[in-house]
Amino acid sequence: MNLLPIGVGLNLKLRDYGVTKNDNTRYICISNNKFIHIMEIYKSIKGYEGYFISNLGNIKSVKENFKDKILKGRLTNCGYLRVALHKDNKQKDLSVHRLVADEFLDNKENKPQVNHKNSIKTDNRVENLEWSTRSENMIHSYKQGRTTKGRKIIRLGKEEKIYNKITEASIDNSINKANISQCLRGRSKTAGGYKWKYYD
């Protein structure tokens, strides 16, 4: 069974498959022209009044006297979905997969990271997520062929430059490796005044 993941900002074009959608029902494609109905459950996001996260990875803003709004979120350079939530007139950028895990998955062993079982970073259905240690996450990435070790990166700007690895870029630009890494992961916009992306 090949599931088509539904996440923040990802809408399935059912009419392309001859299915009419006129309500808030969610569907997953299981073959060329067959769909199954899946129950979408929303839970309030702790610490952020008026925001709700679903087991499918959708985030909804509910405000008094306003129509409910599904937040689109944004993709980071590393392919993860993040969404901006507001609290006390301040905006905070949060990972969607982390929000789903926090609300729907038990973490009895207090593991610090969340892993995507099928390696599709935008598939934030609760069934596709699991708590993991850093070591477990790295092993999973290696087995799935997703390790970033040795990946080329590019420094963006007026004078773009490609580097074979982060260490090389760090030395050439006198920038801490951790800062470049944070930028590559989408956790910061710049490092050393530059934007950075993986080249491949």
Q: Residue 92: pLDDT above 90? A: yes
Q: Residue 153: which H helix or E strand, with range?
A: strand 153-156
Tell me the average pLDDT across 21-28. 44
CB 45 within 8 A of CB 99: yes
Predicted confidence band at 168 (pLDDT cuts at 50, 70, 90)? confident
Predicted confidence band at 132 (pLDDT cuts at 50, 70, 90)? very high
Predicted confidence band at 36 (pLDDT cuts at 50, 70, 90)? low
- Would you kindly state where each structural domain of the chain is located, as residue ranges? 42-143, 153-198
pLDDT at 134: 82
Pairwise pLDDT comparison (84 vs 1), residue with the higher score: 84
Q: Which of 70, 39, 35 is nearest to 52 (CA)?
A: 70
Predicted confidence band at 199 (pLDDT cuts at 50, 70, 90)? confident
Taking every pair of C-alpha atoms in the chain, what is the biggest distance, in angstroms? 56
Out of 85-94, 109-118, 163-172, pick the least confident.
163-172
Pick left, alpha or beta for residue 73 (phi over 0 → left; psi -120 to 50 → alpha; otherwise beta): left
Separation between Cα atoms, residue 88 and residue 171, nearest integer Å: 40
**Euclidean distance between the first and the last CA atom of the chain, given in angstroms as a whole number:** 30
Across all residues in the chain, what is the average pLDDT?
Answer: 79
What dotted CATH number matches 42-143? 3.90.75.20
Predicted confidence band at 158 (pLDDT cuts at 50, 70, 90)? confident
The model's pTM is 0.59
